Homo-oligomer: A and B are copies of this chain.
Amino acid sequence: MAELAGNCLIGQSGGPTAVINASVAGIVSEALNHSCIEEVYGALNGVAGILNEDLVDLAAESQQAIRGLRTTPGAALGSCRAKLKKPADFDRALEVFKAHQIRYYFHIGDADSQETAVKLAETARAAGYELRVIGIPKSIDNDVPVTDHCPGYGSAAKFIATTVRELSIDADATSLHDIVTIVEVMGRNTGWLAAAATLAKRRDHPNDPPHLVYVPEVAFSGEKFAEDVRRILKREKHCVVVVGEGLVDKDGNYVAVETGEVAGAAQFGGVGDHLREIVETQVGAKVRVARLGVAQRAAAHLVSKTDADEAFLAGQAAVKAAVNGESGKLVTLVRGDSEHYTCETGLTSLAELTGNLKKLPPEWVNEDGVSMNFQFYRYATPLIQGEVALTYDTGLPVYSRLAKESVDKTLPGYES
């Protein structure tokens, strides 16, 4: 493989995770090891930055700032929900790549957004411009197929399990009277996040909270729910319920979707209040609802070290693959076969991603429909292991802010 000399560009896409910036840090650190890569650029707000030629010089950032990215929430380069669609947009992107001698493009995003990476690679190939494109997965939802698990999931799972454990201890302390605690978590189409709450149970304590976990993979029935709550209240005097926002009924309809659309997708949230109503009217118990919201993906103060390390590793692996001549590939996380958890990176074709979402396997849910069996524990427990020591200043975690030194524009403006 002939060495390809040029600059590299990083783009972030979709909702941030607590460790999406760790992948940026991995790419930057690794890129500096390869002499064929000259400049290391970031696109501000993903594809928007590419179209607008809004690039920043990441090699100019302090080492401290790049190291700090390993545990900084949000998307340090800015993110973007939009995808490139029009042929003119791809032509423009190619023009920007050419103008800045971008030969390596690293796209950190969920399954859906990797379509843009695929098409960027195709556009360049069709134009005879040598460009190596590697995707790095990110998702708290853990719904990206072909990878054992997705960077971002472990930290969200750790935060959710910790918070549910804490809320449950609090609820238990005040359970002289029947009380139902409902925790609404994210997970638009899959139950990985809701299922993660079951990690809050101590080993060999199946009756520990959370008592009832409702995932989108199991059709929801209000009647069964009321029955479930009554059963738990009888046994425990309080009941901790965890519910994924994307819950569907037996006909496949969402149980609760709020009005309003975001970039064409339904805006979720509200299923917790829907369940509250069922308890109040059909069970007659006191309810309190917590909606963890964006905290699930932003709680960098409680990242899983395993997750942060793997997100960093995925970034490094992307650079190594590209330098070795790979393109049109997605970095995956591959779990070892042994009892002791190990994880290394793999590569798979980006084209394989289109349209599929990885669901929670139905056989990992117990027959009661509201708890997970050992297969889920075996899968998820390793992903939340380890803590990262943060730097605190005046009582609060210090997070990295990039200087974002602009790269000079050389092209005329562009109206998408």
User: Which residues of A line the B interface, CB within 8 A?
Assistant: 12, 15-16, 45, 48, 72-76, 78-82, 158, 161-163, 165-167, 169-176, 181, 199-200, 203, 260, 262, 267, 269, 280, 286, 288-295, 297-302, 304, 381, 384-387, 392, 394-397, 399
Contact = CB atoms under 8 A, between A and B. Distances in A.
Given A260-B286, A302-B301, A170 B16 contact: yes
Contacts of A176: 45, 48, 78, 80, 82
Q: Which of A181, A298, A392, A395 has the most chain B CB atoms inside 10 A of its CB?
A: A395
Given A172-B74, A174-B81, A166 B300 contact: yes
B181 A298 contact: no
Contacts of A158: 395-396
A353 to B, nearest CB: 22
A73 B170 CA distance: 6
A291 B276 CA distance: 14
A399 B286 contact: no
B394 A174 contact: no
Contact of A298 (B169, B299, B387): B169
Given A171-B294, A290-B291, 18 more contacts: A45-B176, A73-B170, A74-B172, A74-B173, A75-B173, A76-B173, A79-B173, A81-B174, A162-B396, A166-B295, A199-B396, A260-B280, A269-B288, A269-B289, A288-B293, A291-B291, A295-B295, A384-B395
B394 A385 contact: yes
A301 to B, nearest CB: 6
A193 to B, nearest CB: 15
B174 A16 contact: yes
B170 A74 contact: yes
Contacts of A262: 286
Q: Which of A158, A162, A170, A299 has the most chain B CB atoms inside 10 A of its CB?
A: A170
Contact of A294 (B16, B75, B167, B199): B167
Contacts of A292: 290, 295
A320 to B, nearest CB: 27
B169 A399 contact: yes
A335 B45 CA distance: 47
